[in-house]
Structures are given as structure tokens and as C-alpha cells.
Structure 1
């Protein structure tokens, strides 16, 4: 089992606008982790489920879009868990750009 990395990104956009902006910026998700690429994604209500792949490792992830925040969860496999702190820092820095 991997190590989950969680990040809360506050916003003032409201639920519908936040979902719209995330949908428009979904192609940038792979940029959140160096060398990663987006493999698949789908919405279930207000939850975006997506899979990234980096260095041959699959990262199951989701974003829970709420009225005033986006809560992201990336379940890092053991090999990438070594970089959990750096990945979290990058998500905190780059994640808000998806909502611009």
C-alpha cells in the first residue's frame, strides 16, 4: 500500500465554476509530478477520479470539488512515497493554477 498525499486548495469560485475550471485544466494534472502523465479520468458527481503514471508507477488519485475548496488525494505507490513531501509542496504551489 502506498502513502496518500492530501492537499486542500481553497477558492471562492463556487462549486460549478471550480468544476468547470478543473475540467478545462485537466490536461495539466500530469505536470504536478515531474515525469508524470495523465492516463485516464472521469467524474462521479463532484469527484474527479484520475490516474497518473510516473516512472512506470500508477498513481490513483481524486479531487473532491467543494463549494469553497478542492481536496486532492494522491495515493503514491511505495517507490514514489519517498518523494511525498516534494510532491505535496508542488501540488500546493501549482494546484491553485488550475482554478485561475
Structure 2
């Protein structure tokens, strides 16, 4: 089993607003990336569990929302491990866009 990929994204929205924004964020992100499809997205309180598919490979993980940060943890299959750095950067940049406070 490979080590999970962990990305922490700080925000200033508060927990409730961050959860609200994230509840539609994964499906929206998948719709803009043709190689990504969402197999499962399940919320339990402030934590979302998900399973996605990219390049025919399944990856699973969870998103934990705190008052001042969101932590994403994804376990990638060995075939996608070589794209871990690209995935980490994509998760961080999309997350920051989604969690940026609009004036």
C-alpha cells in the first residue's frame, strides 16, 4: 500500500462556509477534467469520503474541513504514483480557488 498524498489548504471562511463550497466542488472539478470521474462522494458531518477514477485507475480518500484549513488525503494506485506531484499541485490550486474569500 502506498503512502497517502496529503494536501493542507488554509482558508479564512470558517468551517460552515468551507463545507458549503466543497459540497459541489468535487463534481464541478471532475466536469472540467475529462480524465477524471467521480465514483463516490459521501459526506459525514465535516468530512467527505470520495472515490475517483483517472486514466482507468481508481483513487480514494477523504477531505476533512476545519475552521481554518481543509486537509485532503488521497491514496493513489501505484500506476498514478508517478503523477503524485502533479496531482498535489492541482488539488492545492483548485482548492485555493474554491476557498478564496470573495470580497
| TM-score normalised to structure 1 length | 0.88
Aligned-CA RMSD value: 1.9
Equivalent residues in 2 for 1:40-79 (5 A)? 40-79=40-79
- Residue by residue over 1:16-70, the C-alpha shift from the partner in whole angstroms, topping out at 9 and shown as x without a partner, is 1110011132313436977111111111121100111012211101100000000
Give secondary structure in 1 for the equivalent of 2:64: strand
* Alpha-carbon shift at residue 2 of structure 1 (Å): 2.9
Q: Matched residues in 1 for 2:88 and 2:28: separation?
A: 16
Question: How many residues were matched structurally?
Answer: 100
Q: TM-score, normalised by structure 2?
A: 0.86
Report the Cα distance in structure 1 between the residues aligned to 2:52 and 2:91, rounded to whole angstroms. 14
**Shift of residue 4, structure 1, vs aligned partner:** 1.4
Tell me the SS of whatever aligns to 2:12: coil
- 2:22 is matched with which residue? 22
Distance 1:32 1:51 in 2: 17
5+ long unaligned stretches in structure 2 = none
